[in-house]
Amino acid sequence: MWQKQNERESVPPAPIKPPPPTIPSALAPTPREVSTPAPRSGGERPTHISKTLFLKGSITGSEDLYVDGKLEGAVELPNNSITVGANGHVQANVSAREVIILGKLNGNVTAADRVEIRAQGALTGDVSAARISIEDGAFFKGGIDIRKGGAASAKA
């Protein structure tokens, strides 16, 4: 019953670590679909104006723009696209290669390629573009001028 001191000082066995828990595939979190459009130029993400920001002035540049906040003034992105997010409120004249509207835009729009107004979007102003798409449920008030652009004449 009693052991000598030398026998008690032997090396204890290493503790056994339990394997990490595995999550069944039915319970594993699945990636959510994000409504933000995929970047189209050079694999870069668009510049994002979040819904808590308010900008007043002119924006010019050479990268895509995603507006989820408020913007007043003018936007010129001749070779890039602008997307007005679902929370976006833009009061500006917009000139871009491509304009996608999920929120509200008040102002005239000039697009080298296309203008797209999604179901929850609203556009009040005149449109000048090679192509326009207005989904069911979208709001549009203004005039439309369809003109031949570089992309339209190349396909013809």
**Angle, vertex CA 140, rays to CA 111 and CA 61, nearest 5:** 30
Q: Identify whether 31 is part of a domain.
A: no
pLDDT at position 35 over 60: no
CA distance 141 to 46: 28
pLDDT of residue 18: 64
Domain enclosing residue 127, as ranges: 47-150
pLDDT at 58: 95
Task: Answer yes or no: is 32 within a domain.
Answer: no
Quote the number of domains for the chain. Answer: 1
For residue 14, tell me if it sits in a domain: no
pLDDT tens digits, 68-123: 999 999 999 999 999 999 999 999 999 999 999 999 999 999 999 999 999 999 99
Cα 132 to Cα 3, 42, 64, 86: the distances in Å are 91, 25, 19, 19
Identify whether 66 is part of a domain. Answer: yes
40, part of any domain: no
pTM exceeding 0.95: no
Q: Is residue 128 part of a domain?
A: yes
Please tell me the least confidently modeled range out of 28-42, 62-76, 85-99, 130-144.
28-42
What sign for the dihedral angle of Cα 29, 30, 36, 37? positive
Beta bridge partner(s), residue 65:
47, 82
Question: Is residue 5 domain-resident?
Answer: no
Asked if residue 155 belongs to a domain, the reply is: no
